[in-house]
Amino acid sequence: VCEDGSLWTWGWGGGFFHGAGALGLGHRDSASTPQKVEQFAQHGQKISSVACGAQHTLVLTTDGHLYATGKGDFGRLGRGDTSDEIDFHEIDYFEHTNDSILSPGEEAKIVKIGAGENFSAAMSQQGELWVWGRNDYGQLGLGEEAMGDMYSAERFPRLVRSLPSDGHRIVDFACGEHHVVVLTAEGVLFEWGDRTWLEPHRVSPPQVDDEDFRDIVKVAAGD
């Protein structure tokens, strides 16, 4: 993402057997150098952030619209099906739902996005988190009832309901390959996924004898 809000992508474009790549350029050709995604410029839209999974990409526009492209299996594109997309399509779920615990009846305004290997996540301004895509590792944090087998998945965004009900407003989150870490306004860390925790589990950071290790403001996640 450049300063002017334009989006540039490059890399593997996809293949017949492996599905679409995550470039969103309108074709499956690979690109060895950065290519501008003209779709957004043509409609006067500017990109504020981007998140990449193994074979899909999410972008958030400055006016709060969420788009996805790439491989669609397991519903990772959040549009209700498993079709691949070679250009960006809007995830309009958030324009038609007022599903919220912290702000009942209010439309969710998305302010941050994230992507794991084959799942996606989005955080609202109100401090709630929606997840969708593959759930074979419990990476969606929806509990045991939502995780059945290796094909478990959610094709539409689903609200992680257990954190807000305990009074925890989310201020930051990060997606790993098969897990999620979140930070609440109270400075508490939660994690789930990787076939260890199927719903949010409070993290107790190791005790560090250093005054500077306090007041956590950002989180990140690896594999």
Q: Which residues of 177-198 are buried (b: 16+ CB within 10 A; e: fewer)?
A: bbbbbbbbeeeebbbbbeeebb
How far apart CA 80 and CA 91 sit, in angstroms, is 9
Six token digits for residue 82? 């498993």
Phi, psi for residue 11 in degrees, rounded to 5: 125, -155
Tell whether the model's pLDDT for residue 176 goes beyond 90.
yes
For residue 105, what is the DSSP state? T
Query: Regarding predicted confidence, which is higher, 145 or 186?
Result: 186
For the chain, the domains span: 8-203
How far apart CA 77 and CA 85 sit, in angstroms, is 9
* pTM of the entire predicted model: 0.91
Q: Which long-range contacts (CB under 8 A, 24 or more apart) does 107-110 make?
A: 109/64, 110/60, 110/64, 110/66
Predicted confidence (pLDDT) per residue in 47-62, tens digit: 999 999 999 999 999 9
The pLDDT of residue 208 is 62
Tell whether the model's pLDDT for residue 2 goes beyond 90.
yes
pLDDT confidence of 182, banded at 50, 70, 90? Answer: very high
8-203 architecture in CATH?
Answer: 7 Propeller (2.130)
